[in-house]
Structure 1
Amino acid sequence: MKSTWHALVNRSINIRQGEGPSLFLSALYYFLLLCAYYIIRPIRDDMGAAGGVENLAWLFTGTLIGMMLLHPVYTAMVARFTRRQFIALVYRFFIAQLIIFYLAFQALDGISEVWAGRVFFIWASVFNLFVVSVFWSLVNDLFRPSQSKRLFGVIAVGGTAGALMGSTITSILSSALGPVTLLLVSAALLEIAARVSRYLSDNEQSLAMAAIDDEATGQDKDMRDIERPDAATLTQQVSDKQKEIIGGGVWEGLTHVMRSPYLLGIALLMLMFTIVSTYLYFAQIAIVNEAFGDDRVARTQLFANRDVIVNSITLVVQMFLTGRILRWLGIGVSLALLPLVSFVGFGMLAVAPVLLVVIAFDVIRRAGNFAIQRPARESLYTVVSRTDKYKAKNFNDTFVYRVGDQVGAWSYTAMAWFGMGLTGLALTMLPVSLLWFFLALWLGRKYKDTYQEQTESR
C-alpha cells in the first residue's frame, strides 16, 4: 500500500529518483520564509495605517531607497563569502533586526512609536523581497533547467501554504501574545529556514545526478537536442560550486543587467508585470469602493473570499499542472500566458468596468501569476552564471520590482488627475500587455539559446 501511494505521488508531481529530499527541503524552506513574512505583514500594514494613509506613497518611496541602499551590501557579501556563508549572514542580519524592532517597540510610545512603525513598514517591505530573492537564487543554483520546469511549481506550493499559515498564526495569536511579540516568532522561523538552506545545499550532488537521466528522456520541449555533461563532469562541477567564492564587484548586478540583453529582458518583464499589477490594483479599489461605499465589512469579506479562491486554484495548479505546462509549452509560451490574460482582461474591463469583471480578472490573473508566471520567470535564471543568479537576479527582484510599483502608482494617479476614467486607464494597459507578450516569447527563445551556449562552452 505504501509503495503504491509513493508511486501515485511521484507520477502526480513528476519526481525523479534522487530528487525527493531536495524537493521537500526546498518546499519547507519556502514555507518557513513566507510563514515568517506573513506573520509580520499584518503588523506592517497596521503600522503603515497608523502613520497616516496620506504618507503611504512616501513609505513606498522609502522602500525603493531602502532597496537601493541594501543591494550593494548584499552583493558585497556575495563577493566575499561562499554560498553557504553569505546566505546564513543574510538571514541572521534580518533576524537581528527583528529582535531590535521588538525591543524598540517595547520601549517606545507616542510619536516615537509612530516613526518607528514607519521605519518598520519600509524594513518589512525590503525584507520580503530580499529573503525570497535569496531563496530563489539558491534554488536556481541547485536545480538544473529541466528540473526547474517540473518542480518549481511544487516548490511554490510550500510558499502558498506558508503564507496561509503565517496569516493564520497572526490572526489567532496576536490578541493572546500581542502583535509585537510575534516578531520573535517570525525571527525563530527565519532561523529554522537558514538551517534548512544548509541541508538543501548538502543535497546538491544527488540532485545534479538525477538531472542527467531527466534531460536524457527528451520530453522537455526546450531541452531537446542539447548536449548534456557526463556524470564525472557534473560531479566535479558541483564540488567546485560548493567551495567557490563568487567574487566580483558590488555593482555587478546593475552593470550585468544593463549589458546583457537577456537579463535586461527579464528586468523589463518584471517592470511590465509590476506596472500592470499596480494598475489593476488601483482599478479594483476604485470599483470596489464605488460598489460598497463605506461598508468596510462587505469589502473585507469580498477580498477574503477572493483570496480563498485564488489560493485554492493556485494550490491545485501548482501541485499537478505547473510542471506539465512548463514542459509541454516551454518557458516562452508559459511566460506569455499572463500577458495574454492581462490583454483580454483589460479589454473586458474597458468595455465593462464593473465589480464582477474586475474580481474575476484579478482572480484569474493572480492565480496565473503564482502558479505559472512565477515558476517560469524563476526558470529563466537557471541558465545564467552564478554571479547573475545572486547579483543580477537580486537587482531585478528588489530594485526593479519597486521601480515598477512607483511607475505604475504615480502614472495611474497622474492620468486620473487629468480626468481619464476607468475605461481609458484600462485601455492604456493594452499596448503594455502586448509588448509584455512578445517580450515573453523572445525570452523563451533566448532561454533555450543561452542554455545551448552554456553547455557547449563547458
Structure 2
Amino acid sequence: FLQQVALMSVIAVIIGGIFYYLQADFVKQFFPDRDGRTAVFAYINIATNSLTLFFQLLLIPLLLQKIKIHQILGIFPLMMLLTLTLFGIMPVLYVVLGGIVLQRSGAYGIMKPPTDWLFTGLPDNIKYKFKNFLDTVIYRGGDVVAQLLIVNFLVTSEHSFLHWLETKYNFDLNDLMVLTVIGICLCMVWFWNATKVGKMVVDEFKKYNNEPKNL
C-alpha cells in the first residue's frame, strides 16, 4: 500500500515537471521580454491560488461526502491525461497556460487533501514516519527524476536518448510532442495506480480496525 502511495506521488511530481518545461518553453517563445513574462506568471499565480481555494474549500469536501475515495483520487490523473491529450491535439499557448494552472492548483487542491486522508486510519508510528519520507525524499526525489531523467536525459538535452535516436536513425521528432506522449502514458499508469490506492486503503484500515466513512 505505501509503495503504491509513493509511486502515485512520484508520478504526480514528474507530470508537474513536464508541465513546468512546457510552460517555460511556451512563455519564453511568446513573451520574449521580461515584463511580459512577469505579467503572465502573475496571472498564472492568481488563477492557481483561486482554483486551489475552490478545490480545497468547496469541491473536495463535497466530493468526500458524495463519492468513494478511489474515485476522488482518480480525478486529478484523469484531468492531467485529458489536458496533455488536448495539448497533443492543439499545442497552443492557452492550452499550456491552462494546463499549468490546473496542474499546480490540482496538486494542492485536488490531490493533497485525499492523499493526506489516506493516512488517517494508520497507526501514528507508520503515519508520521511515512508522511515525512513522502514529503522529503519522494517529492524532492521526484523533482530530480522529472528534471534529469524524464526531461533532460530522455528528451531535451543535446545528449538525450531522443536526440541519439534522431541522429542514428535520421528521425525528426518534436521534443514537446515526445514529452507529451510520455506524460500521457504516465497519466494512464497514474490513474490506474491512484484508483488502486483508493481501493487498497479499505484493507489497510480494516487491518488496523479503523474504517473511516466513505470508503
> How far, CA to CA, are the matches of 1:408 and 1:370 in structure 2?
18
TM-score when normalising by structure 2:
0.85
Given candidates 103, 128, 131, the residue that maps to 1:390 is 128
Cα gap change, 1:327 to 1:448, in 2 (>3 Å): farther
Tell me the residue number matched to 1:321: 59
Tell me the residue number matched to 1:432: 186
Tell me the residue number matched to 1:345: 83
1:320 CA displacement: 2.3
Greater relative contact order, per chain length (Cα 8 Å cut-off, separation 6+):
2
> How far, CA to CA, are the matches of 2:90 and 2:25 in structure 1?
14
Given candidates 284, 289, 300, the residue that maps to 2:23 is 284
Task: Specify every segment of 5 or more residues in structure 2 that has no aligned partner in the other structure, as ranges.
Answer: 164-173, 211-215
> How far, CA to CA, are the matches of 2:14 and 2:22 in structure 1?
12
TM-score when normalising by structure 1:
0.41
1:326 CA displacement: 1.9
Question: For this pair of structures, how many residues does the alignment match?
Answer: 195
Tell me the residue number matched to 1:444: 198
- Contact 1:288–1:299 at 8 Å: present in 2 too? yes
> How far, CA to CA, are the matches of 1:281 and 1:389 in structure 2?
30
Amino acid at match of 1:338: F
Given candidates 346, 353, 358, the residue that maps to 2:96 is 358
Q: Secondary structure at the match of 1:266?
A: helix
1:453 CA displacement: 2.5
- Contact 1:351–1:423 at 8 Å: present in 2 too? no
- Contact 2:56–2:113 at 8 Å: present in 1 too? no
Amino acid at match of 1:434: M
Q: Secondary structure at the match of 1:383?
A: coil
Tell me the residue number matched to 2:117: 379
Task: Specify every segment of 5 or more residues in structure 1 that has no aligned partner in the other structure, as ranges.
Answer: 1-261
1:315 CA displacement: 1.6
> How far, CA to CA, are the matches of 1:445 and 1:409 in structure 2?
31
Amino acid at match of 1:344: L
Amino acid at match of 1:403: G
> How far, CA to CA, are the matches of 1:393 and 1:278 in structure 2?
21
1:360 CA displacement: 0.8
Q: Aligned runs of 1:69-84 on 2, under 5 Å? A: none
Given candidates 37, 45, 56, the residue that maps to 1:299 is 37
- Cα RMSD (Å) of the superposition? 1.6
> How far, CA to CA, are the matches of 1:429 and 1:421 in structure 2?
12
Identical-pair percentage? 29
> How far, CA to CA, are the matches of 2:88 and 2:176 in structure 1?
7
